[in-house]
Every structure is written in C-alpha cells, then in structure tokens.
Structure 1
Amino acid sequence: QRQAMANNSRPTPTMAPNNSLRWERCSMDIDHLSLHCRQHSHTVLTEATPVPQWIDDRVSLTQVLEAMQASPMHVLDTEFERVRTFWPKLALVQVALPARNVLIDPLAFADLGDLGRVLGNGRPWLMHSASEDLVALKPLTEHAPTALFDTQIAAALLGLGSSLAYQKLVQSELGVSLAKSETRSDWLQRPLSAEQIDYAADDVIHLQALCDRLGDRLDRLGRMDWLWQDGQRQIAAGYELLPSANPHHEFRAAYKLPLAAQVRLVAVLEWRERTARSTDRPRSWVLDNATAIDIAQNPPRSGPELLGKLANCRAFPRRQVGEVIDLLASAEAGAPFQPAPAPLDRETENALRQAREQIDALAAALALESSTLCSRRLLEARARLGTWPPDCTRWRQQLLEPLVQATLGASSPTQNP
C-alpha cells in the first residue's frame, strides 16, 4: 500500500501553508457557537501537494495524533461501506494537517480509542456533507464535536446551491477538477488502488481552502452564526440517532389505515428499528416498508403465515417470528398516540401557499435558494403543530416567524440550537 502511494504522486493545486486565510478560534459561546475568522492574506494555490501518507502502524499513528492535537481544527473525511449493514463500516479516515495529508487505515488497528480521544478534544471539525461521516466516526469517540464547519452547508448559505457536491464546489471555487470515478468503489479492499488513494486524498486536500474562501464571505454577510447553528443541528442528528417518535408519519398513505392498524404499524416499525440496530442490518433487509404495512393491516396469526409474507426480507430473524406475531396481537396505542396526518385541507394549503410566496421573496432578497431558507417539511410542520419543529434552527425561526404569522397564526418559538 505504501509503495502504491509512492508511485502515485502527482501535482495538484492546494493551499500554500504560509499564504492562507488562517482561522482563529477567538471565542466560543456554548449557546451560539460563535467562532470568528480573521483574514491575514489572500488565498494562494500552488502546485506542491504532499504525497498522502498511509498510516497502518501504531508509531506513525501516534505521530499523526500529536500533530492533530496541536491543530486548531480537525480537517476530516471518511470512506465507509453501508450497503449490507445498519451502521457504517469505517474503511478509511482522511486527515489534512498543515504540512501533510494522511490516510488512516482503521482495518489495521484493533483499537482506535486514541484517535477518538483526539477527535473529541473540543476542536471544531471541518468536513463536507458530514452527516454520514459523523455516524461513521461516532463509535470512535463518545464526545461529539463542539462545532462543525460543513463546506456544503456554507455553500448553501452563500446561495451557491443546496446539497452541492464536493467536486462541483472545488471546481467552481478553486478551479480544480477532481475525479468522480471512485465514489462507489470498494473501500474495504486492500490494497487500495492508486485511483482510490488519489480520490481519498483529494477529499481533504482542498477543504481548508474552501473553508477560508467560504468562511470569509459568510463572515462579511453576517452569516457565520447561521453556519454554526446548522452544524450543531447536523451534529445532533449524527450523534443522537434517535428513533422517530412517530415512524408511521413517514408513510404518506398511513392516514388511510384504521387507527388499530396504525398502532400495529408503529409497533412493528419500532421492532424493526431495534432489530436493525442490534443485528447491524439495513432496515429494509429486516422488514421492507410494503411488508410492514401489509402485516399491520392484516396481522398473521401463525408462523407459516408470517413467513409466507417475508420473501423480500432477507435479514428477518426467523427465530423472532413468534415475537412479531405476539407484538401485532397485543399492540396498544401509547400515550399520547398521534395518528398519521391526513393531507392538509384547502384552507391550510392556501395559507401555506401565501406563506411560501413571502418566504420565496425573502430568499431571493438574501440570494438563497428557497429550500435552504425553509423546506416544505418545516413549513408544513409549522402549519400542523402551530410551532416550529425542534430541528428548525434559531436563525430560521427569527427570519421566518414574522413572515408566517399573518397566514398561519402566532407561534411561541421553540428554543432550538
């Protein structure tokens, strides 16, 4: 693997270590996550890129961890597999350091607790589209990052586009073309190919340059606090991984089911969630959605009857057939049980349409995509609940609530991060 990397070096534009925008952690307010940047000089791209260093022994890892401990920010990415499992199987951890880029091979170590302790040392994390990476890294450290600079979120808050891919962002901001061919490759194979090594290293090489450029513009627009709030929301989602309190609400047609069938659907979906997590298998492998609805509507009364419905459920634990039958037979509504919501009535839809028009106008004035400012889900939750859902960040509530009160009525804003 080391030889493959040595044979695979090639010049790629990156940040010159002494000619960059340096981020300084000037202050940290626990409630507002107020991090500030100061511009020291202009971003400069050079042709000198260090060959990524493959880390698969304890001595090399210790040296990397010492360098990470001294860094003001953890610049990270991961590669993982999540096709056959519920939990991501970590295959690679990429780290950009001031003078080098390293690829840590988690398959070479029986224990990476020391890496987890460094990651949990309170420094902000710098990543792109970090939601699944956070889940993949969670087993390493019980301490969630204190702050997250996600360059995908930063791009959205600058109006560059929502869910912008890393390659497109690097191309538009830095003028560098990156390969996309290894996105779906097998990251658990060893040795990795030269193309995989290039791809993995590229994923962190340009993060600091993006951070400097995007962060400077966010700071000038007064939107840095928006970034940190959205980062906190992403951290909470990745680290808490709380099962849905109303999993049946995710089924558009669930409102058509009788109340008793909805209660059984909740029971079987909660069983599926517990089983998928404990057996480390995808939810759909344990019990696919169509089968879940089927057995909630028409609960089987015998093992053979249930087994006859499980043709598409390759990871259903056969030894739990009796448990599922008993669960369906004894399911009762918990308190308080919230039936699946029916489609909004015409009056509410008209109110939503008016609110959306005002939100669209505000988004245009802020040069944001309307969905970045307020998704359909958030707006519909505000209409149904009379308040913003817990994951609606404070800056959004402050901008949106005055707009929607005229059409949706007043709300008592929730205290969200």
Structure 2
Amino acid sequence: MSLKTALRRFTGLEFKGQPLSVGDAKVARLWGRLFGWGETAAGKAVTPETALQVSAFWACVRLLAETIATLPIGFLERGADGGRRAANDHPLAYLLRVSPDGEHTAVEFWEGAVIAMCLHGDAFAEKVRDGRGRLIALQPLRSDLMTVRRDADGALAYAYADPVGQRVLGETEVFHLRAFGGSGLRGLSPLMYARQTLASALAADEAAGKLFANGVRPSGVLEVAQILKGDQRRDLRENVVGPLAGSQNAGGVFVLEGGMKFTPISLSPADSQLLETRRWHVEEIARWFGMPPILIGHASQGQTMWGTGVEQIALSWLGLGLRAQLKRIEAAILLRLIEPAERARFYAEFNIEGLLRADSAARAALYASLAQNGIMDRDEIREKENLNRRGGGAGKLTVQSNLLPIDDLGKTAPTPIPAPSDTEE
C-alpha cells in the first residue's frame, strides 16, 4: 500500500495528485487527524493563512514585526577600558544592518524572522560562508519546512525539505531564533496554542458575514399546507426562497400565496451577542501576544485612544513585552552568529531610543538632560540626529552649573558675595 493510499484511507482526504501547501485546509485537517492539535471546537481549520485573516491576529503580528524590524540595531565592540564603540567595519555589522543575503533588506529579513516566530515558534536562516570560512550571507529558510532533531552525538541537526529535496544542515550552518518557551529543540508556536481562540474568531466572522449577506434577517421555516411535488419544490426554491435571501433583497416585500407562512427560527444579533463576542476575541488574541489591545486599535469601553494614559501603556509594553523579544534576538546573534573567539569583544544591541524619534518634544527633553548633566556631549547628540560634528567645545562634557567642562569642576573659585555696606540700613 502506498503512503498516499494509506493517508487517504486514514484521513479521508482526496489529494488528486495536486501538491498542497502547508496552509491548505486539507493539510490542516490531515495534521489534526494525525496528531490531534489541528482540531478545534468551532470546526474551523487554523492555518497561517486563515489566522492572518483575523484582523486582530494580523495587527498583533504586524505591529510586533514592524516595530522590531525598524529599530536600529548596532554592532558594538567592548574596549579594554570597559567602554564600547561601534564596530561598523565588522562583516557581520553589514549583514545585520543593511542586507543579510544581498536580496532582502535588513528590515525585510527581521520582519520575516519575527513573523515566522509568531506563526511557527521559530525562525531559521542558513549561514553562507566563503572559501575561507567567513560568514558572508544569511539565507532565510521556511520554518514550516524545517525539522529539528538531535543526531547520535547529541548535536542539533536541521532537516530542511525544500522544493528541490530534503537536505540536512548542521548546527553551525543554521541561524536559529526560538520564540517563547525555547528551552527545547523548538520554540512554542502561538498559532498552535491559540488555535481554539482563532477558530472561534473565524467562526464569529463567518457568522457575521452570513448574517449581513442575508440582509441582517434571520433564517426560518416556510410552512405550506400541503405536500409538494418535486417540480413544486424546485419552483418554490427558485421563485420564493431565492428572492427572500441575500443582502440585495433586504427591505423588500414578498407575497406568499396558498396559505404559506414564514416562521423565523434564528436568534437576532442582540440575542446571540455577536458584537460582544467579536470584541472579546480581539482582547483574547492580544492577550496571546502580551500586547495591550489599544495598540492595535481596540479601546475598552470608555477608554480614549489618545493622551498620556495611552503613552504609559505603550511604555509598559516596551518594558514588559517588546524588550523580552529584543533580548531574545540579541542573545541568539551572540551565540549563533558571532564566532566563539569574538564573543567576549563583540555583541549586537537594539537601540530602543528609536521608538522615541516620533516624539520630538520627549527627545529634546532627553537630550537636554543628558547634555546638562555631563552624560553626553553635544557632538554625540548631533550624531544621533544625523548632524555633522562641530568640534571644539561641542565635543566636551558639560554640567548644568554654568555649563563648565566637567574636567574644570573645582578649579574655578566661586564668586565672592560682597559684604553689606555700613551705610545700608
């Protein structure tokens, strides 16, 4: 018995010789029947394609991917004195900041990596090296075509089933990003664990669509006082039932003959709380991503979409949600991209100050505080604003007390206060 025949008998699916993508509904049902995780109480197949049709899921994935991908990432070197400097001349700095593979921009690469982590729990890229063993490119790999296992020696082996054929890559040949729960071979897939919530959201969207397609009118039973023949049933379906259905017929008036009676049997939208259910799904999906719903355009009852409250919510998400994702990527770069001999010197770091660039007032206040307290000089601030250095005094640290150079503190005697004159009363 062939594998195809066995799968058809076991799952009841007809493949008809056509290749199926991983997102195909048939494949979702197949994996559900084989391994059990694809089945949902709502009866909807949850795949990457169907999940991204839910606006809240799309918004969470998009916001997370775009935010991380557009943050500046620096490649830095630690100095012997404990300081650090930008190591822009390092080959890895170009791959991380400009283009990992010569085809995708760095923004596109990191967007794809974060999307893969949100959907599958992992992101993969193949390390391409030149003849001297130097890393020259990172080629993205599809997470849904990758299998991770350990070989006999305990090392990780990555089996990749690309369209050409399956090939096995070693641990040093793959850049592996694990999502939350990545203490095992792979990270946990939000799509898989949130499948029940997503299936319910899909079912609610479909129910709403059918309700509006029916002109927001409930379905019902058409009663007749006699037994109909076959041609009478067809005529009734074509000339009476058909014109009654559809949003294009909403508000129309129809005449029922021969004692026919229409009895509605479905619940109204208010009775079934359809709108409340859909609102709840937005909050549930946002909870799966640890994201405040207001960041994806969903405000709670009575909550405003603007103001300092929303700003504090965004800062809270930066500290409690986004920062963990950034640190996870930074740690993976250090462990799996930087050579062991260089890990004590080089590291990558996201600059979260990039999130403040849209707020010019907050940025100006921050720079003023840093300059007046001797933390940054004015030339360093000008560099952050993409301005040329001025040199001279602009390159010296100053403090708020008369804005003296920090090295001159204590050298200038304070101006004496004149004693009061004897003639003054």
Normalised by the length of structure 1, the TM-score is 0.27
Bigger-Rg structure (1/2): 2
Return the structure number with greater strand share: 2
